[in-house]
């Protein structure tokens, strides 16, 4: 799967979860979660209803 840059809406949501959006890419987005991969190769799953 190809990594994609974040949209402005995704950046604000990921920042509200405590991550620095400049260090992360979207690997996959589903209806209820983001699958993120960092620039150094770490993977993270963030559910859309957990933060804010």
Nearest residue to 6 via CA among 49, 52, 44, 50: 44
The parts of the chain modelled with pLDDT lower than 70 are: 1, 52
Number of Cα atoms under 13 Å in the Cβ half of residue 14: 24
What is residue 52's predicted lDDT score, i.e. its pLDDT? 64
What is residue 49's predicted lDDT score, i.e. its pLDDT? 84
What is residue 10's predicted lDDT score, i.e. its pLDDT? 92
CATH topology of domain 8-47: SH3 type barrels. (2.30.30)
CA atoms 25, 39, 3, 29: torsion sign: negative
What is residue 2's predicted lDDT score, i.e. its pLDDT? 78
Cβ–Cβ under 8 Å, residues 21 and 10: yes
What is residue 3's predicted lDDT score, i.e. its pLDDT? 83
* pTM metric for this prediction: 0.83
- Break the chain into its structural domains and give their ranges: 8-47
């Amino acid at each position: 799967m190809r990594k994609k840059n974040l949209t402005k809406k995704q950046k604000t949501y990921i920042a509200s979860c405590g991550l620095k959006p400049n260090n992360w890419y979207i690997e996959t987005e589903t209806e209820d979660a983001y699958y993120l991969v960092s620039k150094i190769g770490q993977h993270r799953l963030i559910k859309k209803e957990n933060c804010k």
